[in-house]
Structure 1
Amino acid sequence: MELNGKIVAITGGGRGIGQAIAVGLAKKGAKIAILDLDQDALAKTKALVEAEGSEARGYQCNVADEEQVESTFSRIVADFGSIEGLVNNAGILRDAQLIKVKEGKVVKKMSAYHFELVVDVHMKGAFLCAREAAAHMVELGVKEGCIVSMSSIAYRGNFGQTNYSAAKAGIVSMSRVWAKELGPYNIRSMAVAPGTIETELLRSMPADILEDFAKMVPLRRIGNTDNIAQAVESIFENSYLSGDVMEVHGGFTI
């Protein structure tokens, strides 16, 4: 796909990986629809995209809310006139062990609310946004479309992340299904599974913990958001990439 002039929607685009992807695609000439709940974050990413000489619009949207997603994607198409790409990036963390045991007694359990919340934002959100983006692509008759959904190496199963791991595994499976179902319309679908990436959350951790994380990676360093943005760009630009997951982890796997 030639990105110049294409319209790409990015969920969770207000900060971190989403913001880096927005800026990276803007450098290639893509016009960016930024979805996030945080108005200030939306404004910041919009300004960064415009600084690259591209067009951007911000949309406050809860990706787990069906009506909001439907109306938001209709607005995107009305505002830009089309949509050729989607990056499903919105997500949250609510880590906890399934059960926590102390001296033979269960002292804590992962709450059903936190399980549902994480699955809703990651997996249901990706499903709703992919459905709406694909529907508009087909009805608009776009020549080529691309959906990239952010998973994680935790999709293999990570300690303390029942909810997150399940959601990220679901995203990989859904992405592969979409590649099969949407391929006849020349809409590609790929997942990206980042490893340990330097984000605001990671930077807030003590330096010794960050050093320990880095030592676990064969490259002996933590990745940055631009590494993920580069992976997403390569997927958009390679018109034969579809139906798989691209892992970006510096050699560290779970």
Structure 2
Amino acid sequence: MQLEDKVIIITGGGQGLGRAMAEHLAGKGARLALVDLNQERLDEAVAACEAAGGQARAYVCNVADEAQVVSTVAQVASDFGAIHGLVNNAGILRDGLLLKVRDGEITKLSLQQWQSVIDVNLTGVFLCTREVAAKMVELKNEGAIINISSISRAGNIGQTNYSAAKAGVAALTVVWARELARYGIRVAGVAPGFIETEMTGSMKPEALEKMTAGIPLRRMGRPQEIAHSVAYLLENDYYSGRILELDGGLRL
């Protein structure tokens, strides 16, 4: 799929990896619908996309809220007249061990910690994909849906909720690739490893050093490298039903 003038929705598009993806795709001439909860961040991202040479609009939406997702996708279709792609990037972290024992006292991972991550990182992907795919079929727009999974889908200590959600996203990528191919819609995914973001930037230097020591390339990935991979998956019309791991060789 050539990205010039194609309409792509990016969830979590106001900041971090989502904004990096948006700016990269804007540079290729894509028309972008950026979805996030923070209006100020969205406005900044829209301005950055326009400076990069693309067209962008901002949409405030909670991807875990069915009514908001239905309304937002309909609005995007009305505003742009088409939808050719979706990047399911929105996600949150609520890390914690399943059980922690200190001085004989047991602390458990709360249901709220579990549910909030599942709601956004898994249910949100389901809702956005369902509505966007339906609208693409309705409009007879072929294209691609890219899911952002994670190498944590294989299981990562302290991430019961996140690992479960990202494993689910990887499985759904295969299911939807098989189901939606008949409509000219490809579905693929990217599984990033440790990436330089605001979250990792706030970590203590010794923690960062320990994290990067286990990566064969001896550094974290850059947001632009994830953006480059997302663009590749959107553009390559024969890539579907697979997850591209981008982790510097961490999972050898």
TM-score by length of 2: 0.98
Aligned residue runs from structure 1 range 42-81, under 5 A: 42-81=42-81
Which amino acid counterpart does residue 29 of structure 1 have in structure 2? Answer: G
* Alignment: residue pair count: 252
Which amino acid counterpart does residue 161 of structure 1 have in structure 2? Answer: Q
Query: Which residue number corresponds to residue 36 of structure 2?
Result: 36
Query: Which residue number corresponds to residue 234 of structure 2?
Result: 236
Using the TM superposition, give the Cα deviation of residue 102 of structure 1 relative to its aligned residue in structure 2, in angstroms: 2.6
Task: Tell whether the 8 Å contact from 1:151 to 1:172 is kept in structure 2 after alignment.
Answer: yes
Moved over 4 A (4+): none
Partners in 1 of 2:62 and 2:105 — Cα distance?
35
Aligned residue runs from structure 1 range 56-205, under 5 A: 56-103=56-103, 105-142=104-141, 144-205=142-203
Partners in 2 of 1:156 and 1:54 — Cα distance?
36
Partners in 2 of 1:31 and 1:208 — Cα distance?
41
Using the TM superposition, give the Cα deviation of residue 213 of structure 1 relative to its aligned residue in structure 2, in angstroms: 1.4
Q: Give 3-state SS (helix, strand or coil) of 1:209's partner.
A: helix
Partners in 2 of 1:45 and 1:179 — Cα distance?
30
Using the TM superposition, give the Cα deviation of residue 253 of structure 1 relative to its aligned residue in structure 2, in angstroms: 2.1
Task: Tell whether the 8 Å contact from 1:91 to 1:118 is kept in structure 2 after alignment.
Answer: yes
Task: Tell whether the 8 Å contact from 1:99 to 1:106 is kept in structure 2 after alignment.
Answer: no
Using the TM superposition, give the Cα deviation of residue 202 of structure 1 relative to its aligned residue in structure 2, in angstroms: 0.4
Using the TM superposition, give the Cα deviation of residue 162 of structure 1 relative to its aligned residue in structure 2, in angstroms: 0.3
Partners in 1 of 2:143 and 2:176 — Cα distance?
12
Which amino acid counterpart does residue 25 of structure 2 have in structure 1? Answer: L
Which amino acid counterpart does residue 5 of structure 1 have in structure 2? Answer: D
Q: CA RMSD in A?
A: 1.0
Which amino acid counterpart does residue 45 of structure 2 have in structure 1? Answer: T
Partners in 2 of 1:47 and 1:211 — Cα distance?
34
Partners in 2 of 1:16 and 1:42 — Cα distance?
11
1:216 aligns to 2:214 (yes or no)? yes
Q: Give 3-state SS (helix, strand or coil) of 1:134's partner.
A: helix
Q: Give 3-state SS (helix, strand or coil) of 2:35's partner.
A: strand
Q: Give 3-state SS (helix, strand or coil) of 1:58's partner.
A: strand
Task: Tell whether the 8 Å contact from 1:96 to 1:160 is kept in structure 2 after alignment.
Answer: yes
Percent of residue pairs identical: 51
Partners in 1 of 2:112 and 2:2 — Cα distance?
42
TM-score by length of 1: 0.97
Partners in 2 of 1:12 and 1:215 — Cα distance?
29
Which amino acid counterpart does residue 222 of structure 2 have in structure 1? Answer: N
Task: Tell whether the 8 Å contact from 1:23 to 1:52 is kept in structure 2 after alignment.
Answer: yes
Which amino acid counterpart does residue 86 of structure 1 have in structure 2? Answer: L
Using the TM superposition, give the Cα deviation of residue 209 of structure 1 relative to its aligned residue in structure 2, in angstroms: 1.6
Using the TM superposition, give the Cα deviation of residue 63 of structure 1 relative to its aligned residue in structure 2, in angstroms: 0.1
Task: Tell whether the 8 Å contact from 1:20 to 1:226 is kept in structure 2 after alignment.
Answer: yes
Which amino acid counterpart does residue 139 of structure 2 have in structure 1? Answer: L
